[in-house]
Amino acid sequence: MNAIPILTLKRLPVYLDLLYKYQRAGMKTVSATRIADSTDVHMTQVRKDLAFTGVVGIPKVGHRITELISAIEQCLNWNDVSSCFLVGVGHLGKALLGYSELSRKGLRIIAAFDLHPETTGEYLHGVPIYGMEKMPNLLSRLHVHIGILCTPSEAAQEVAEQMLAGGVIAIWNFTPVKLDLPEDVIIENIDMSSSLAVLSRRVAERMMRKTS
């Protein structure tokens, strides 16, 4: 299994969304040129990206859409559902528990942990919620390798370390904290704070220019 470049990986879901749309519209084949036009990615780049999936286009016809969909899903490991768990059942954590798109994208949350669960032992969107003290034992029993981190910032580093101790190899980090962990840990950050910082400032700058 070869390492696919990160920017290719980030574009594959965009192609996939488009292919689902074509499929719903009843199309059978699509050219790289058409994908390029609809995604604003250069055609040469689209061809390179699709080559990573191992699918070969048919001259003058393009790619079979079903074949391309399943090749991309396989590339992203989205055809295979991985179990994961979530720590920090605040507003964002609850949201993710109810976010049904995740399972379509290969991730199934099988347990959630919180320092002060409102309702320990209860289920939220079908996922059981436990106190943090249950985490070490459950992680080692369940063999889960992916953790979603939604704790308050001040707890993020400590919880991440507990995750690693429990056998986690990948963390999807929704806190703004830059985690300090061994290099071989796979970390993907969704930093809503940074994004909101840029948005808020750019809006303020625009408003000032308008009034000055």
Q: Which of 19, 53, 105, 166 touches a copy of itself by CB under 8 A?
A: 105
Query: Which of 36, 89, 95, 122 touches a copy of itself (CB under 8 A)?
Result: 95
CB nearer a copy of itself, residue 65 or residue 107: 107
Q: Of 59 and 183, which CB lies nearer to a copy of itself in the complex structure?
A: 183
Q: What contacts 14, CB < 8 A, 6 or more positions away? A: 39, 41
Task: Between 162 and 175, name the residue whose CB sits nearer to a copy of itself.
Answer: 175
Closer CB to a copy of itself, residue 102 or residue 134?
102
The single residue listed with the structure tokens 């299994």 is 1
Three-state SS for 161-200 is HHHHHCCCCEEEECCCCCCCCCCCCEEEECCHHHHHHHHH
Q: Does 198 bind a copy of itself (CB under 8 A)?
A: yes
Q: Is 180 in the site for a copy of itself (CB under 8 A)?
A: yes
* Strand, coil or helix: 31: coil
DSSP H or E run through 123 = strand 123-124
Q: Where in 30-89 is the site for a copy of itself (CB under 8 A)?
A: 39-40, 75-78, 80, 82
- Specify the 3-state DSSP secondary structure of 148: strand
CB 152 within 8 A of CB 90: yes
User: Which residues of this chain interact with a copy of itself, rule CB under 8 A?
Assistant: 1, 3-4, 6, 9-14, 17, 21, 39-40, 75-78, 80, 82, 91-92, 94-96, 98-102, 105-107, 145-146, 153-154, 169-170, 172, 176-178, 180, 186, 188-209
